[in-house]
Structure 1
Amino acid sequence: MADLEIASASTADLLLMRDWAESEGWNPGEGDRFAFAVADPRGFLIGRHRGTPVACISAVRYGAGFGFIGFYIAHPSVRGQGYGIQLWRAGMAALDGRLVGLDGVVEQQDNYRKSGFRPAWTNLRYEGVPVPGDPSLPAGVELVDAREVPFERLAAYDRRFFPEPRDAFLAAWTGLPGRTAYVALRDGAVEGFGVIRPGVTADRIGPLYAADQRIAVALLHRLASAAAGRPVSVDAPDVNPAALALMAGAGLTPVFETARMYTGDTPTLDFPNLYGVTSLELG
C-alpha cells in the first residue's frame, strides 16, 4: 500500500468517479461533476496504485467552517486491501478543524460512527412517475424560471438550508445545460426553489425547498414535467414529515436511504421547508 499515490482528481478522473458512483447504484446526475468541480477544485481526490485508479473521495470545503465528504469508493477489485481507508484519511485531513457532514449508506454507518460522525436524520430516496395531482399554487404565488431571479436572492434563500454560502456551486448547479430550475415568488420574495437534472435511471430533483406543502407539490409537478414521462427521484429528509407525505401522495416509492451525519452538532437549518436535499455527494 506504500505505493498508493493520492492526488487531486483531473477532469477525466471526475468522469471515472461518476461512473463508479453509477455502478454503486447512486444514479448521479448528468453534468453534476461540473458543478462539483466549481464548488472546490481541490476537493476531489483519486488514489492510484501503480498508475491505475483504485479509490476516490471528495472532501469539499465550504466557507471557513464546513466540509462535506462524498464519493467515498474503493474499486471492487481492491476492497479490503486498505486503499479506501487511505483516501478516507486524506479527505478528513483536508477538512481538519471544520464541521464535516456526509450522507452514509446503511452498511457504512457504523464505520462512520467510529470516525466520530453522529446521525442527524435519514434521507429517503423516492422514485417514480408522479401521479396526477393538484398543482395549484396559493394565491399570490407564481413559478418563474430561476434564471430570471436575481442571483443574490436565490443564494440568500439557499443559505437557510445549508451551513455555509455556496454561491459558485449554486450558480453552476442551477445554470448547467439540460437542467430546469424554478423559483416560487410571492411579491418578489422567494418562497420555493427546485432543480431537476437528467440522471441515468431517473431524473434527479434537488434541491426542493418550499414555504408550504402546496408550493412543494406545484414545484414537484412543474419540475417533473421537464422529465417528459421519465421517472424522477427526490432525496427527502425524514426530519420533515411533510416531505415524506408529499412523496407518498405523489405515488413515488422509497428505493434507497442514507443517514445525514455530522462530526459535531447538527447545523440549524430550515427543516420545515426542506422537501428534498440538493445532492448526497455534496450536501
Structure 2
Amino acid sequence: MTGFEITGASAADMELFRVWAEEEGWNPGESDRFAFAVADPAGFLVGRIDGEPVASLSAVRYGAGFGFIGFYIVRPALRGQGYGMRLWHAGMNRLEDRLVGLDGVVDQQANYRASGFRRAWNNVRHEGVPGAAAAGTEEAALLGGAELVDAARLPFELLAAYDRRFFPEARDAFLSAWTGLPGRTAVAAVRDGRIEGFGVIRPCSGAARIGPLYAATPGIAAALLHRLARHAPDGVVAVDVPDANPAATALMAGLGLVPVFEAARMYTGPAPDLDLAGLYGVTSLELG
C-alpha cells in the first residue's frame, strides 16, 4: 500500500463519487452531492494512491448519537488489495461510540455482518410509470380530506419536525438543501395545519427518484407519488421502499412499479424507533 493515503473529499471528489456511483448502477441524483456536503462537510473520505483518487466512503455524523456509512466504492481494478478496508476503518473510527446505519448491497452483506452490522429490513427499489391505484380513483378520494401543497410554502420547522418521525436524528441543514435544490419538487399533504405526507422528486442519471416519501395512509402516498411523477421527464420514477412496511410494498405493486434493486438497511445496534408504517420511500441509500 505504498503511496496510499486517506483525506477528506474535495468538491471535485464529490462529483467523482457521483460518477463512480453511476458506474455501479446506483442511479445517483444529479445534484445530491450539494445536499450531502452540508450534512457533514468532513464526513466524506477519499483514498488516494500517489494523489489519484481510487476509493470513496461517507461516514456522516448526525446529532450526538447516530452515523451513516455510504458511498463505499473501490475502483474495480484495485479491489481485494486492502485499500477498501483501510478506508472502512477510517470511516468507522470517525463514527466511534455512535449507532451506525448503512444500506448494504447483497454481495457485501456478509462483510457488514462480520463488522457487527445486523439487518433491520430491506430497501427495495421499485421502478416504472405509476398507474392508477384503483380504476377511476381521483386524487381527492386518495387524499381523504388532506390537500397537496408546495412544501416550500410551509414553515421549515414543520417539515423538519415531521422528518424526525422517520429519521433517528435532526438533519435540518441536509433537509433544507435536499428539498430546495434547483430541479427538485417537494410536495406535502396537509390537513388542518398538520403534515400527513411529504415527498421529494429529483433528477437522476436514470429514472427520476422519489425520496423521501412519507404518508399517513396508502392513499396519501399514492396521491403524492402521482403528483411528483408529473415532474419525471419520461414519467418513469424509482422509489426505495422499506419491506418493513407491507402497505408500501403492496402500493407499489398496485401502481405497477416493479423491483429492480435491493439493499439491506443494517445497524450496529438495535434499530431506531421510527414510524415505519408511514415510511413509503427512504430519502437516500447513501446518507439514510
Q: TM-score range by the shorter chain?
A: over 0.9
Tell me which residue corresponds to 2:162: 157
Residue among 154, 179, 184 paired with 1:174: 179
Q: CA deviation at 1:72?
A: 0.2
The secondary structure found in structure 2 opposite 1:86 is helix
Tell me which residue corresponds to 1:89: 89
Tell me which residue corresponds to 1:143: 148
Gaps of 5+ in 2: none
Render the CA deviation track for 1:59-114: whole Å, top value 9, x for unaligned. Answer: 00000000000000000111111111111011000000100000000000000000
The question of 1:274 aligning with 2:287 is answered no
| One-letter amino acid of the counterpart of residue 168, structure 1 | A
Q: Is the 8 A contact 1:29 1:197 kept in 2?
A: yes
Residue among 191, 194, 198 paired with 1:189: 194
Q: CA deviation at 1:51?
A: 1.3
Gaps of 5+ in 1: none
Q: Is the 8 A contact 2:31 2:181 kept in 1?
A: yes
Q: TM-score, normalised by structure 2?
A: 0.97
Identity of aligned residues (%): 70
Q: Is the 8 A contact 1:63 1:164 kept in 2?
A: yes
1:57-96 residue pairs with structure 2 within 5 A?
A: 57-96=57-96
Q: Is the 8 A contact 1:127 1:233 kept in 2?
A: yes
| One-letter amino acid of the counterpart of residue 182, structure 1 | V
Q: CA deviation at 1:139?
A: 3.6
The question of 1:217 aligning with 2:222 is answered yes
Tell me which residue corresponds to 1:264: 269
Residue among 245, 252, 271 paired with 1:240: 245
The secondary structure found in structure 2 opposite 1:35 is helix
The secondary structure found in structure 2 opposite 1:207 is strand
Q: TM-score, normalised by structure 1?
A: 0.98
Q: Is the 8 A contact 1:140 1:187 kept in 2?
A: no
Question: Distance between the aligned counterparts of 1:10 and 1:216, measured in 2?
Answer: 37
Tell me which residue corresponds to 2:35: 35
Residue among 244, 250, 253 paired with 2:255: 250
Q: CA deviation at 1:219?
A: 0.3
Q: Is the 8 A contact 2:143 2:223 kept in 1?
A: no
Aligned residues: 283
Question: Distance between the aligned counterparts of 2:86 and 2:236, measured in 1?
Answer: 37
